[in-house]
Amino acid sequence: MISDPTAFKRYRNTATEKTNLPRLIIGTAVVVLFWVAITLVVVLGGTYVAILWHVLPGGPPLQGFLASPIGILTALTSFAGIWLGLWLAMRFVHGEPLSALFGASRRVSLSGFLKGLVTVLITSALSEILLYWLQPEIARGTINLSTWLLFLLPIVALTLLQTSSEEMLFRGYLLRGLAKCFESPYVWALLPALLFTSLHWSPGSTPAINACVLASIAAFALLLTLVVYVTGNLGAAFGAHLGNNLTGFLLISHQENYNSFALFNAKPLEGPDWTTMDAVIIAAIGIVCTLLTILLLLHPRSPLKVTADPRDAG
């Protein structure tokens, strides 16, 4: 199912001689610096304003703000720091335009984006059905339908900001740069995937649930890496990641702190009542659905199969 690597080789080789390991480290530090700085500004600033306006519930102000609808929207805007950091790193560290990370054509593949989005929405629906079979405790969310429709477009736009920034960093900047410096996929594929996966550790979850979530995230990171390898473009990864996160933000939330806009709330993964067997089954569901997504996106007979755009394949 893995296609000719020509598109990825062309994508990798678009990196200039200024893409080397020291510059990658400097560029990554720039991105992290601006990501953290923007996050602190918008989150702490938003919390301060919420305190002045007396709109926070009881408890620690920061946690209360982040759990509120406006706090979730504010937190999503913080991912603009990644885009800003990447633009500065590409422009001043590597001497390239930011668009070079999209693909060899310097454009996002629209067909790849749509196929990735539709495929993950389908497999996410299957995942939710299987999770419901495991734990049928699903309740209607607090948001009413009219408010949900009002916030639909802003949430989609901000979720796209979040997911695209992560893809630009982990499957674009780091993957492309490391592939330019190292031939081995154990470096350029695994290292960004491991970094991406590690960011999803939740201190509020049990070790078993954390392990199952990280296993599922690692499988999803593999999927995202594969579609970039096959297409030489970030379009399909953009769409797949967006579909995955929109399901949790807008449809069925499994996280208590991020359920303000979800129509339905499932039993939160942060809760203490999950057994080790539950965790194993959750991990299995995530991995199986990711494998199905890979099959739909890469199998030659699949109507949703992604391919390299001629402009990316050369």
Is 85 among the domain residues? no
pTM of the model: 0.93
Residue 110 lies in a domain: yes
Q: Among candidates 118, 52, 12, 71, which has minimal Cα distance to 259?
A: 71
d(CA 110, CA 15): 23
Task: Report how far apart, in Å, the C-alpha atoms of 275 and of each of 138, 139, 209, 280, 282 are.
Answer: 18, 21, 8, 9, 11
Is 41 contained in some domain? no
Burial class (CB in 10 A: 0-12, 13-18, 19+), 253: buried
Is 109 domain-assigned? yes
Domain membership of residue 59 (yes or no) is no
Residue 263: count of CB within 10 angstroms of its CB: 15
Number of domains in the chain: 1
Q: Is residue 197 part of a domain?
A: yes
Burial 214-228 (b: 16+ CB within 10 A, else e): bbbbbbbbbbbbbbb
Residue 55 pLDDT: 67
148 within some domain = yes
Q: pLDDT tens digits, the chain, 314 residues: what are they? A: 555 678 899 999 999 999 999 999 999 999 999 999 999 999 898 888 878 776 666 667 877 787 788 888 998 999 999 999 999 999 999 999 999 999 999 999 999 999 999 999 999 999 999 988 888 888 888 899 999 999 999 999 999 999 999 999 999 999 999 999 999 999 999 999 999 999 988 777 788 888 988 999 999 999 999 999 999 999 999 999 999 999 999 999 988 777 889 999 988 887 777 888 888 999 999 999 999 999 999 999 999 999 987 777 66
Distance CA(11)–CA(2), nearest Å, equals: 16
Residue 33 lies in a domain: no
Domain range for 189? 6-16+96-313
| Sequence-distant (≥ 6) Cβ neighbours of residue 31 within 8 angstroms | 82, 85, 86, 89, 169, 173
